[in-house]
Structure 1
Amino acid sequence: MAPVAAQELMVTEIMADPTPSQGLPAAEYLELYNAGSAPVDLTTLQVASGGAPRPVASTGYLLPAGGYAVIVDHEVAEDFTAFDVTVLSTDLPGLTNGGDEVSIYMNDRVVVSLNYTDDWYQDKDRDDGGYSLEYTGRGAVNCGGNWRASVNVQGGTPGRPNSVVGQPADNTPPQVVEYTVDPFGVVVTFDEDVVGPADHIFLLNGDPVRVNLQDGRTFNIRFDPVAGRVDTLAVLPDYADCAGNFPTEIVDLFILLPVPTAPGDVVINEVLFDPGPNEGDYVELVNVSDHAIDLRNWGMSNVESSQRPKSLDRSILLLPQDFLVLAEDRAGLLGRFPRVDAARVLEVDLPPLPNERGNFTLATGEGIPVDAFTYGVDMHAPLLSSVEGVSLERLHTDAPTQEASNWYSAAGTAGYGTPTLPNSQAPSSPAQVAESVKLVERIFSPDGDGHDDVLEIAYRTAAPGAMARLTVFDSQGAPVVDLQPTVLLGAEGVLEWNGTDASGRIADPGAYILLVEVFDPNGRTDRYKLLAVLAG
């Protein structure tokens, strides 16, 4: 008979949540396995789970090499005899469903100790009762990554080889699930215990940093963050879990000790409330303060609606002058606006934004109002025949949000929306400018060589609301093509002619006259005649 050693005696199955039963007795149990080459005398066997060890009725019993025994409570011992297994009874301590410590004692010393959790099931269909936890036989027995929920139809295999022996278990490396910032640094938490030297896992702004290990998955990184400044904490792939799963990429965490947010630090900059087919509403925000802001837990509401406010439930860092677009349909927005900065578009559940009139109010997690905009369809350009799919753009971020003259329809030349981009109607200069229309280059050659293939007509408007029509004539005055019968212009931009006629064919080489007619909302029309040359 061999002396007892931790590597010989193993706990290989745990039934912590036996209901609803799949066929086994509705009772908790532990399974012991002798992995050694000689019998083990279990006379001094005791079991504990978070308290004092309790003796097991096993006097004189020898657990043979490769043999199993099932430890159950005295009251249910008889229920397990029908399974033709070795049953050892005790006053079994309760095994908590969500996780607990299990210890096996021999001769008053611990020979096996496990701290299981419900993560060990690794099976969402079997982690809510009726199935045991089984050791797969792969790697360390005290590693949760080497356990799985039983796949036996009865919910477990007490006293028999486990149903998951040899099956792959956890193959996912630890991942950061939370990080919190305070005036003394940051606390980083992983979703499972991490194996590896703590001082080699993190870099702060590219430099090594002092790390204190709080527990197996929580790390305290101590430094003096500056309020309102964003620091970068790099999590290097130099760690693993107990099952040996290593990450393959560096993860950057952006650390911000916040400055108290004041009303107007973040403003509403663009709103699409009447989307076209296959797209959703969106709201663009911009940080006009001089410090970074985290939008975690900020609220969004329509104060004219009875619906409860929506919440941004994740950390969203907004640097000074950064845009953020809150979209109901991110994929649809990215498809419609190919120039958008996809990293600045977040799909969220927006409050209701009716087509005729509505409100969007933004508030901090503490309920402090930051900005609010009550819009109406009458704020759109009066010359537009339809406003479906047309956003309202803010003209000046430093002017009052609710000032109607501070909003206008996005330009047609910009696709009737500019999410994450400078607003098409916002003036590039605060000074009043004169209207102008001119050719960028007079000669162009639409031959597909990538050089001057398109004729560009640069424009600048004196005020929002101007619309334009572009018609091309040949040198004899005959119409060649009528481009964009009417299009809403932005503060400045470009109209284009690709050199094709009304039939879609490239026009003949020669001189062409371009007539640009600009209509303002007051009924005034300005006409510009420009001479261009289509080179052969």
Structure 2
Amino acid sequence: GRVSPRAIEYVGPLTLSRSTPVAARSVRGASWSALNEAVFGVGPVAESLRISELMYHPADPNAEYVELANVGSQTIDLSRVAFTDGIQFTFPSVELAPGAYLLVAEDMAAFAAAYGADLPVVGPYSGKLSNAGERVALRDATGAIIQSFTYCDDWYAITDGQGFSLTAKDPAGSDSLDCQSVWRPSARAGGSPGFDDSGILPEPGAVVINEILAYPGPGQSDWIELRNTTDAPIDVGGWFLSDGSQNLMKYEIAPGTVIGSGGYLVLREDETFGRADDPGCHVPFALSRDGETLYLHSGGDGMLTGYSVRQRFGASQTAVTIGRHATSTGSCDFIALDVATPGAANASPKVGPVVISQIMYNPGSRLKAEYVQLLNVSESPVTLYDDALGLPWRFSDGSDDPSIELLLPADEPLTLEPGGQILLVKDRVSFAVAYGVVANVPILAWGPGTLSGGGGQACISRPIGVADDGAVTWVCIDRVGYRDETDWGDCAGSASLWPAGADGQGLALHRIAPAAYGNDPANWRAAPPSPGEIGL
């Protein structure tokens, strides 16, 4: 039919005050075109709207919320902005001023009971934020992604059911929210809905677990060293140490304990955290020589607050400490150190006696021609077998559940003379076709599993113990976590500088200085494969 006589004729541009769906069609006489529909977004929503806080696992399971912030300089209208992954919610027409916050609640009544009734909040949303972590996506009125990321429940123990929220360190920052390093726990239990709680506690990284002794020798005791990385003193009195995520308050540091600028605090098991009569020792604990996770949390008045450090460490050798070592990428590894230095700067990493000297992880079209070369960098012969345990050394891909696992010979254990080498290969035939015959160097094939072409690990370990159930504890002697790109920024903001030529371009990774720390791209270069050779 024709245009309705009640229709309003409009001439000139159409101004929208908020994001709006518009439907239109043309008419000629009595003939109408098909209907065309589109959604028009208004204002700099995509540039200004950011997720600033997630209360994904509150003490009250109905008190979840997500906090949004306007990090821009203009008021924005959130009409038809929507959460589409993790939770589902489409915003009504609501304005958010520059610097302001808006909460989105799962249960409006539970939110008001938990956090107060005077906060700017909309909802309820459908679904629940997963306690185990999941993907969350926020889209603008046109359906375009504003932010999309996956959070994990193991980032901070206190955000996983203990009443603290995940809080973005810098909501206006450009870093990916997929990374733990851009998040911190809220300063207090209950989160910080509708306000900024930064500056209440020391900045993340201000106090670190710097060095530990978990397998003391005769006459020694376990110890934990904390370090103040800042240029100002930090009062850690009332802070908590623990070796279990289910009880983060096993040991409370004595009131008034201050770590000076750039200083250290050493806590010994037989004097503090393992001594039941110490006033701060709520549950005595010791460090496991098999490896475990340590937790450091700020506290006050006997309660946890939001500064949080989680430090995992692997199995220890007798009387060998494990501590932080900064690599050329800016990241820190927590690895065996050459000398124990309680109360002082950490020593260099412990290297050898056997190291990984070459890695061919992506031989391109030669498929199964992968190999790893081991080298004895010590001045003494090394037998790759533990007589006391009756077990050989092991090569693996370094994971907890390795896809590559090769036990070195046990019936006739291998001994490497100083400068001696072993080649570990994926497939003997493919290796020989690709590189020819390598004389005077033992060659062992690992069989199932491949070195990851997208970046992975290679690890040589020796046994240090066997549990009652037969499980073997392995201590890492040398590990290399390589990457396949020259600029693969990690969550800490550092860049990977691993040589690109080793990624399917016919080159292998060669260790530059065999006796220097190996898990650092600065000590590797890409060069033609030379299995059986030591040369740089």
User: Which protein has the larger Cα radius of gyration, Structure 1 or Structure 2?
Assistant: 1
Question: In which range does the TM-score fall when normalised by the shorter chain?
Answer: 0.3 to 0.5
TM-score (norm 1): 0.35
TM-score (norm 2): 0.35
Higher relative contact order (CA 8 A, sep 6+): 2
